[in-house]
Amino acid sequence: MNICFFKLSNWLRHFVIASFSNRRKMKQMYPKFFTAVERTYPIPGLNKTVSLTKNKAEACLTMTPQGMTLTEHYLLISAYCYDHRHHSVIYVLDRNSDNKIKTIILPDLSHVGGLAYDPLQQTIWLSNTVGSFAAVAAIHLKQIDEYIEGSAPIFYQQKIALKELPHTSALTYNRKYLVAALFSLKEFGKIVCYPIDHTEKLINEENHLNTSKSTILSSPFGTLAIPKKIQGATFYKNFLLLSQSWGRQSGKIFVFDIHRTTDFSDLTQAQKIITTPPYLEQIYVDGEYLFALFESGASAYRKKTSFVINDVLQLDLLQLLE
């Protein structure tokens, strides 16, 4: 008993010291970023998530967080299996208490790089693919409410291919528009805007509704170039914020004034560049707060960096923009 207690005490002491040391190191490296942190939400399932493989329930040890959005009551985080063996999932957290409510199993093994919420139609849009095209899939908020953890995978209300992109690394919603972004490692990325009508349908370039599951949607606005390695996009007033991250290097958040910027791939036109820890994924603005999701807590990355973040961070955006 004494030996077991000693081992447990030793482990706890090591864990607390390591955790404190890690936090102190991050605050020293990124003082402005961490000074703005006002709240954290623990990311569920980083060590184990029960999902499906070949229609059988199984624990996945490599779930990797990718997308994030907020509804009126939920914080939603999407994750995919790094080993590509298990179905992707959405973690549903209570945005007030930060407790995990449920894990929703998706019907496929998609990367789910982006999540976006349309509050007018109460629809959650997810990044997906159809053949060689990027796609978006839709889930109603009511489905999230009614889903029982451990049941069969949730189903998509619709799934639409996007002509302009081979895949989507980020999604966001802004004023009746769904905005999709493409991650590119060596070349400039792309950002594309799609109008949404009152029946939850995306509108194509001929200004006709997309009514067929086989239709490949084209944006009526074309594409805009954005910087390389973009993982997330969100809007704040007249600003477009883009998160950039790749490997162990520090992440960046580029803040562009939409009214003044002529080229969103030109970093000299950014009004502000915010430096963050590495492995930054999706960002989201709600009111005066910026929410930031990192994948460094996932098993595939936690040993690759000393800056491991196991939480969604809620930051004071006005403080970051000073």
Clarify whether residues 132 and 11 are in a common domain.
Answer: no
Residue where the block lists tokens 């081979």: 166
Provide the 3-class DSSP secondary structure of residue 76. Answer: strand
- pLDDT-derived band at 212 (thresholds 50, 70, 90) equals very low
Give the strand order in the sheet containing 311-316. 37-42, 311-316, 289-294, 280-286
Q: Is there a single domain that holds both residue 149 and residue 293?
A: yes
Query: Quick one: 53 and 18 in the same domain?
Result: no
Helix (H) or strand (E) holding 257: strand 251-257
Contact 54, 60 (CB under 8 A): no
Backbone angles phi, psi at 278, to 5 degrees: -70, 170
Q: Which residue has the higher pLDDT, 10 or 24?
A: 24
Tell me the CATH number at 169. Answer: 2.120.10
Q: Are residues 182 and 269 in the same domain?
A: yes
Q: What is the pLDDT of residues 19-71, one digit of tens each?
A: 545 777 888 899 999 999 999 999 999 999 999 999 999 999 999 999 999 99
**How far lies 180's CA from each of 118, 169, 306, in Å?**
14, 8, 31
Task: State the total domains in the chain.
Answer: 2
Same domain for 252 and 196, yes or no, is: yes
Claim to verify: residue 7 and residue 145 sit in the same structural domain: no
Same domain for 13 and 57, yes or no, is no
Distance CA 122, CA 124 (A): 7
110 and 188 inside one domain? yes
Domain that residue 5 falls in: 1-29
pLDDT in tens, 144-165: 999 999 999 999 999 999 989 9
Confidence of residue 206 (pLDDT cuts 50, 70, 90): very low
Same domain flag for 2 and 148: no
Tell me the backbone φ, ψ of residue 293, rounded to 5 degrees. Answer: -110, 135
Same domain as 157, residue 20: no
Rounded CA-CA distance 166/110 in Å is: 14
